[in-house]
Amino acid sequence: MKQDIFQAIADPTRRAILTLLTIQALTPNVMAEKFDMTRQAVSKHIKVLHECELIKPEQSGREIYYHFNAKKMQEFDHWLAQFRQNWETQFNQLDELLSTIKKQKK
Amino acid sequence: MNNDLLFDFNVDKAAKTVYITREFNAGRALVWDAFTRAELLDQWVAPAPMRAKTKYMNFEVGGRRFYAMISPDGHERWAVQEFTSITPKTNFKMYNAFSDKDENRELPGSDWDYNFSEQNGITKVDITIFNESFERLEKILEGFKIGFTMSLTNLENLLSTLSEKQ
């Protein structure tokens, strides 16, 4: 199942990982050290972030470095902007309805 | 007219919560009615070219509104709102979930909290939407988008038919 981006961001550890990755790409081992977690715990978080495409792996020699995928975050913000636009349309319709009702009452 | 009226839209991604604030140039009693009476809701709540149709609405605690958003090609997206708390003209809360046309709900849904306040004839409405998942929120938007895409496709077809005739 595709991971839910909201669920991914809702977790404080995953937010901290993302913040760190905006500064530099890291290997799972370094992440585990920085967060004082087991390698398994880190792998779980990486899996969730990777599945919703918030991070991208890149092979460098024998190591895998994870990068922050800013494009995915932008897509998410873009999507939210559309959601906002829908509300604006609805509320403008309500403005018209309210002014019609007020005129009728006069 | 709308330009002086406040419109705020904030998303707390971490808390999975959307906050919306909007002012309306009308008294609180009227705005309250526009949000809580089916015959008024159906006139504004679907962004054009979508339209809304309420099958029934019992606005009381434990009561439900069963309604559909209908796209220009007649595609119906049903949903159920269950009212969990009502303080007349001040606040109401509901639990909103998509459903099939027989009112079988698809859980989880989302929690909605509406607050109404009036100052100098302007009514401010604060809406808080808590979603268990982002996908749920995504579905709401998909519903809207289907309507727009459909009507654009219809327009394209119409235009091509017309140009063929020439």
Q: Which domains does chain B have, with CATH numbers?
A: 2-165 (3.30.530.20)
The answer to whether residues B55 and B152 touch, using CB atoms and an 8 Å cutoff, is: no
B112 Cα to chain A: minimum distance (Å): 15
Q: What is the per-residue pLDDT across A45-56, written as a single tens digit (0 to 9) for each?
A: 999 999 988 999
pLDDT at B14: 75
Query: Which CATH number is A21's domain given?
Result: 1.10.10.10
pLDDT exceeds cutoff 50 at B147: no
Question: What is the pTM (predicted TM-score) of this model?
Answer: 0.72
The answer, for A75 touching chain B at a CB cutoff of 8 Å, is no
Does the predicted interface ipTM exceed a cut of 0.95?
A: no
The domain total for chain A is 2
Q: Which residues does chain A have within 8 Å of residue B144's beta carbon, measured at their own beta carbons?
A: 86
The answer, for A36 touching chain B at a CB cutoff of 8 Å, is no
The shortest CB-CB distance from A83 to any of B26, B30, B141 is to B141
pLDDT exceeds cutoff 70 at B134: no
**Whether residue A61 sits in one domain with residue A91:** no
